[in-house]
Amino acid sequence: MAKKLLIITIMTLTALYSTAQIDVHSHAITEPYLEFVKANLSRLYYDLAGAPTDAAIDALLTITTPDHLLYGSDYPYVANPVLVEGKKALEQRLAAHGLNPQDVFSDNAKRLFGEEIPFKESGERIVRLAEIEVEPSMLEEYLVFAREVGETSTKVEPGVLTLFSMQDKANPCKIYILEIYVDQAAYQSHIQTPHFKKYKEGTAKMVKSLKLIDTKPLVGLGKLVK
């Protein structure tokens, strides 16, 4: 079956998103519909052709993950010298945002169409254990959020290797989450994603305490990150 693909430009994205916000403010559409729009925007692929600004890249990273950013040069409709200078400027902008330019210029597109391209690490892996205590009356609701963010993150973010949630048998309100990221840039990208923000905002009143423990692995990570 052929893969269905929709690549949207930044200008079109801005128009859609701004229109949705304006309609909400004028009560033309409901808030749940806006949430539906936001959720589906994260599944699209975005073309950085032209002259994307830092603000545009920041905006895209609030609604989707870095592996959904692509680059089309607009050749031959743009002169070669302009393309070369624009590509150099974009490389610097991507690096400043902790993104790998090669992913945006080629590897993300290759992955999209089924080619096996390993995610490149730019630093030391982040291995962390989160200890969370949840309000008893909100436990079941919290577990739904925890499962959703874990499944979505490992599915759509190449830089998230593991989000392994565990529940204390003696005290079910104690939750432990083993988090493994390929590097610091992957972690910073993760906390800007829509699904993480949904989890963080949705569970804010459910969590009684949170402790993050950064660790140093003593043995290989093995099958946890295959």
- Its sign, for the CA torsion 157, 159, 160, 161, is positive
Which residues on adjacent β-strands are paired with residue 165?
A: 177
Start-end ranges of CATH 3.30.70.100 in the chain?
Answer: 126-225
Beta strands in the chain (DSSP E): 7-9, 45-47, 69-70, 126-134, 160-167, 174-181, 207-214
DSSP 28: S
The helix (run of H) or strand (run of E) holding residue 159 is: none
More confident residue, 177 or 21: 177
Residue pLDDT, tens place only, 198-210? 999 999 999 999 9
* CATH (residue range 126-225): 3.30.70.100
DSSP 64: S
Confidence tier at 22 by pLDDT (50, 70, 90): very low
CB atoms within 10 A of CB 216: 6
CB 106 within 8 A of CB 112: no
**Of the ranges 17-31, 70-84, 133-147, which one carries the lowest mean pLDDT score?**
17-31
| Per-residue confidence (pLDDT) for residue 30, from 0 to 100 | 58
Cβ neighbours for 18, distance < 8 A, ≥ 6 positions apart: none
Pick from 8-22, 111-125, 155-169 the range whose average pLDDT is largest.
155-169
In this predicted structure, the answer to whether residue 145 has a pLDDT above a threshold of 90 is yes
DSSP 119: P
In this predicted structure, the answer to whether residue 21 has a pLDDT above a threshold of 50 is no
In this predicted structure, the answer to whether residue 73 has a pLDDT above a threshold of 60 is yes
Joined together, the tokens standing for residue 14 give: 């801005």
Write down the pTM of the prediction. 0.53
Distance from C-alpha of 187 to C-alpha of 146, rounded to nearest angstrom: 17
In this predicted structure, the answer to whether residue 218 has a pLDDT above a threshold of 90 is no
CB 130 within 8 A of CB 211: yes
Joined together, the tokens standing for residue 63 give: 């609604």
CB 130 within 8 A of CB 179: yes
CA 120 to chain centre: 16
Confidence tier at 34 by pLDDT (50, 70, 90): low
